[in-house]
Structure 1
Amino acid sequence: MSLDIDYYELLEVERTADEKTLKTAYRRLAMECHPDRNPGCDKSEAKFKAINEAYDVLKDPQKRAAYDRFGKAAFENGGMGNGGARGGAGFGDFSDIFESFFGDAFGGGRQRGPVRGADLRYDLEISLEDAFHGRTTEIAIDVAAKCGDCEGTGAKPGTSTRRCNLCGGHGKVRAQQGFFVVERTCPTCHGRGEVIEDPCRKCGGEGRVDERQKIEVTIPPGVDEGTRIRVAGKGEAGPNGAPAGDLYIFMHIARHKVFERDGTTLFCRAPISFTKAALGGEIEIPGPDGSKHSVNIPEGIQSGKQLRVRGAGMPVLQGRGRGDLVIQIDVETPTRLTARQKELLCEFRETETGEECPQSRGFFDKVKEFWDDLTE
């Protein structure tokens, strides 16, 4: 140990500090005590190493639990303190014992070798037109990337690591629980068998540094709300030079001024005048690709009627063909009439027989029968 001080006191945090608080405190202190900022100061260099040592323990849930229970004795001479198991931290639950004995046989054991970096999520909003055509765009993300100075090893360039004293370089330790002797990954070296003696100054022994990266993303035609695009190897860098995770981009389609979407089908509402509804005619509806579709309005069409244009909807994602464009007709009653228009409508009303609007006539016939029944 570089400094015989409680790890929490060393990092200047409470014992209940969460992961974010620990990380913030570590970065602040590491910057203050960094050898580059304190050249020739042995005390600062020793504190810098001690801070890294403390953070390495407290950021790991298993090692932190062992430290909270037994202090530094948990990592010295292969002991855990009174009542603890030799050679490592205690058991979380019986599943650890089961996995240690039967995991490899049944394919469910703990992962061997380097631990892959974490996957990342990015939410990207695009227009309906971009979803129709597809596009290539550039996004910027903040990610823990592999340190360029130490190539992800965490060791200062030009220095070497030393064999882990806890596991003897095996990367595994044995712990006894009653009649069981269980082999687990070493909590000090995390299975590497080696310990960093002189941490990299740029990353503080983490092997990773936070940086902003720009990534080019190809969006295929036909993506929909919630479509997930995987960009391999663009997630967080793995610890100790392990492979990076993946980046998952979740697509969100911005609301459109004309269309609503359901899969590959596009919907739009088309208000038409009551004269066009009565006499019929044509309307022109745009497509998401800028094309124009002439739609025939049959005579006497009613509100709510849907007209379909085949193959004028969204493309099938990673497939062939397109969905349909569905136009819902809304017959609009005029609200601003000139005197002449009112006069013509009055003349039309005088000629009505009831046969022009059979649904209306049928409804009021039923209403009349209802009143007649009540008066009998």
Structure 2
Amino acid sequence: MRVVCAIDSFKGSLSSREVGEAAGNGAVRAGAEAVIVPIADGGEGTLEALTSLLSHELVQITVEDLMHRPFASTYARFDDFTLIECAETLGITKFTPNPEFVPYVSSYGVGQQIKDALPAARIVVTLGGSGTTDGGTGMLQALGAVFTCDGSVIPHDTNPLWTFDDVDLSGLDPRLTSTSLIIATDVTNPLAGASGAAHVFAAQKGATAEQIECLDRQLALLGRMLGDVADIPGSGAAGGLGAGLLTLGGRIISGFDWVAETVGLEQACLGADLIITGEGRIDRQSAKGKVPAGVARLGQELGVPVVALAGSVGMELGDFADQFAGVFSIQSTCRPLEEAMRPHVARAEVERSAEQIVRLRQA
């Protein structure tokens, strides 16, 4: 029996490769052959998944994190592209969301990374997991744009979106014109409006109801000033960072599909008898461009059954559960969350779960 293990990271516990290897060990104990394919969907862990599999050069530079603190960030140069992971610098897990922070958090650090990477021929920016809602204004500042309020230049150590009323893009780094900019995201939200960046995502980043209304008005203003990008699906990704990257000439692609193609997931799954996928938590949100949904779709196309593993599973998966041969929590006993997320505990539970699933499939 040939089992492919293509599992997203268990955030805060195991990387994609680590959880895949744990599942693979379980499959081997059950007498199967295991193939490990590190995978991600463009969110946190994408950089780690690709660098664990592909030849690369890591580049470390000091930039500003989303709270404007010095941060030793990392991006990677591969043979035919440079990868910048938004969550590496601006990740929502890197701070505690608070309404007091909303007027300050910015995407400036990602702009610094892009500037450092120029003049790379092809830059891929993954947008999942952002803790900012600034419409990409901070990133644009780092690349030469000037935002003003009542004629005064807005400094970069704030969130320019909060107060700006005008923008000058004439000073953007000219090297951007010779770079192919790829925006990897599975979020399809527009920049502003009821389904825009502020109304859908800002609350989880600390914004109050009043702040969300303010951010949405400013995002709508930004959209009018940036041109025809505001209604493009994905412009609202990463707090509107998608719109800023579109303004630079970027092109939006599916984060999961791009990672899957880059790591050769389809080729690895050809001839497989079972695919094991999963992520830290599987719920209704997993259906929206996350790894389990993408792997399930691929399994259906290839006629290979797909089983999903997770640290926890939502009670109401709806039709999403029908895409899998089974969806299972790895927990064998009740534990405090802190204990369950300890790497050695999670690894052992993944191994045990995968072994039992493979034994059942072989029966």
The TM-score range, normalised by the shorter chain, is under 0.3
Greater RCO, 1 or 2 (C-alpha within 8 Å, sep 6+):
2
TM-score normalized with structure 2 length: 0.25
TM-score normalized with structure 1 length: 0.24
The structure whose residues are more often strand, as a share, is 1
Bigger-Rg structure (1/2): 1
